[in-house]
A and B are shown apart, each in its own frame.
Chain A
């Protein structure tokens, strides 16, 4: 499996859902038999997994947060999600 940073179109897999839980007051990725709780950084990243490329995603985050340290965050986060089977490269079909 290629490293997630090389994904051209990083997206959540079909059976994983990103949501805001108003009761527990947290962002979540919900998947079969599991809930992954996201912090603000994770939520910001997943919100942008809408079909844009990884490079565009990192650029958007750097603009949004006026900070240049997102590449490493995204790389680590994507690897974690890919390892759990929650993220894939939609460009691979």
Chain B
């Protein structure tokens, strides 16, 4: 196997606590099992080790990173070791002072979530009143001249509001609007039957985005991530396992991807007992799916093996029980019928969402 390259990007999940309860959250279902959080001294060490390892960008996320009282110190430390810092947040809880403090601490960029284009629907999806607050936050951070990406997770219940979401993004004058169809992991997998859209909805969404791009040009930049359940080939998940990205979870577990936790039988390393360098280069979980030697057919002989790396391991496991299987979204996968069945079985009836929360 060729020598492992150094990573570029760290997802730092500071906590799994969150004031929202979105039913598509990619956090683990068993949140309560990971509730012991790393302290700030450990996070500072992790950030320094990440920078030494070649990480260029850190995304502070969770749960809701604003719930960490030491967030400002964490951000300041990240800037101190020359990391480019992002905050992925719902915007709640915060006040104007907090955003000014974050700006002063050196926070570089923001990704703020929105659940839908109007308060009733957005609040219903988030499980708590949040829409009005988010809009206030978006105006505050604009005034403070943060570059902002507005993140909206798309699914059956908000897909038809894409036009309104784009218009809202335009009015708020954000730099980027990321419209990302939900990925069926974590809580989204549990709620899959009520989240899956129809083919017609997807096509309409793509059309709306195309028209908006023509009308608006680059502002905002509109990123539209289509759902892999409706595509021929899988996504190059994370650009490949253990190639570019790593995640440190709130309890210190180091993961090749943030949803890998729901795969049983994988013994994840932890920053409390090993350095990031040891973990990245030598840990068996990280080594497990590097390169192409692990691939089964049809991936092993496929021309695309170094384009999409066989797709998503978590998805393969969730759908087939086999962590090493070809991602079933690939039309060449022997398990592709599972995707077709999920799409056609998705219930069209009344909606009962299982909200994300700590007690399961």
Contact = CB atoms under 8 A, between A and B. Distances in A.
Nearest to A28: B56
Interface string A1-44: 00000000000001101010101100010111101000000000
Residue in B53, B56, B86, B145 whose Cβ sees the most chain A Cβ within 10 Å: B56
Contacts of A85: 175, 218, 221
B8 A33 contact: no
B176 to A, nearest CB: 7
A23 B176 CA distance: 30
Interface of A: 14-15, 17, 19, 21, 23-24, 28, 30-33, 35, 85
**4 nearest A-B pairs in the assembled complex, by CB-CB distance:** A23-B54, A32-B109, A15-B147, A30-B84
B145 A14 contact: yes
A14 B111 CA distance: 17
A5 B53 CA distance: 38
Interface string B64-86: 00000000000000000010101
A19 B56 CA distance: 10
Nearest to B6: A23
A32 B149 contact: yes
A16 B86 CA distance: 13
A33 B54 contact: no
Nearest to A83: B218
Contacts of B149: 32-33
Given A21-B56, A23-B6, A33 B109 contact: yes
B54 A32 contact: no
A86 to B, nearest CB: 11
Contacts of A15: 108-109, 146-147
B52 interface: yes
B53 A23 contact: yes
Contacts of B109: 15, 32-33
Contacts of B176: 32
Given A24-B6, A85-B218, A30 B57 contact: yes
A15 to B, nearest CB: 5
Nearest to B176: A32
Contacts of B52: 23
A17 B175 CA distance: 17
Contacts of B175: 32, 85
A31 B56 CA distance: 10
A27 to B, nearest CB: 12
Interface string B143-164: 0011101000000000000000
Nearest to A14: B145
A35 to B, nearest CB: 5
B148 to A, nearest CB: 9
Interface hub of A23, A31, A85 (most chain B Cβ within 10 A): A23
Contacts of A19: 82
B61 to A, nearest CB: 13
Nearest to A15: B147
Given A23-B52, A23-B54, A35 B147 contact: no
Given A15-B109, A30-B57, A33-B111, 17 more contacts: A15-B146, A15-B147, A17-B84, A17-B108, A21-B54, A23-B52, A23-B53, A28-B56, A31-B84, A32-B86, A32-B108, A32-B176, A33-B109, A33-B149, A35-B8, A35-B57, A85-B218
A56 B186 CA distance: 55
Nearest to A30: B84
B174 to A, nearest CB: 11
Nearest to B218: A85
B145 A33 contact: no
A14 B144 CA distance: 12
A15 B145 CA distance: 9
A21 B218 CA distance: 29
Interface in B181-228: 218, 221
Nearest to B217: A1
Contacts of A24: 6, 8, 54, 56
B260 to A, nearest CB: 21
B111 to A, nearest CB: 8
Contacts of A21: 54, 56
